[in-house]
Amino acid sequence: MLNRTLGCLFALLLGLSGVVMAEGTDGAQYIEDKGCVGCHGKDGNAMLMGAPKLGGQKAGYIVKSLMDYKNGARNNAIMSGFATALSEEEMEAIAKYFEEQPSTLTVPKH
């Protein structure tokens, strides 16, 4: 009985840590695997002036932008290609990752 309880607890902990690890690493991995870093930089603070800074940007806005590129509402030869290759889950992981990076973006009040 004790063994079974411990076994269950162990399995539960293993499962939980798996979830936590997946959330922590996916976005960081995707931005390298999917080619985002080439223009937007590893922390989303773009290396190229024509590309937007994404560090600290709203995740919901990044997801919407990627969806718009994918479905054609935003017409951009470069981004359409990248976004078409992404699932919605991947978009959300990427957006969450960029939102959590250090940011120089502001909401000016005047």
Distance, CA of 109 to CA of 34 (rounded, Å): 35
Size of the site for another protein (CB under 8 A): 26
Q: Which residues, in sequence order, are CB contacts of 105 under 8 Å at separation 6+?
A: 53, 55, 56, 57
| Residue 44: CB minimum distance to another protein, A | 12
With CB under 8 A as the contact rule, which of the stretches 2-10, 26-34, 50-58, 84-92 interacts with another protein?
A: 50-58
Instruction: Dig out the tokens for 97 from the structure.
Output: 């990752």
**Applying CB under 8 A, which residues contact another protein?**
46, 49-53, 56-58, 60-61, 63-64, 68, 73-76, 103-110
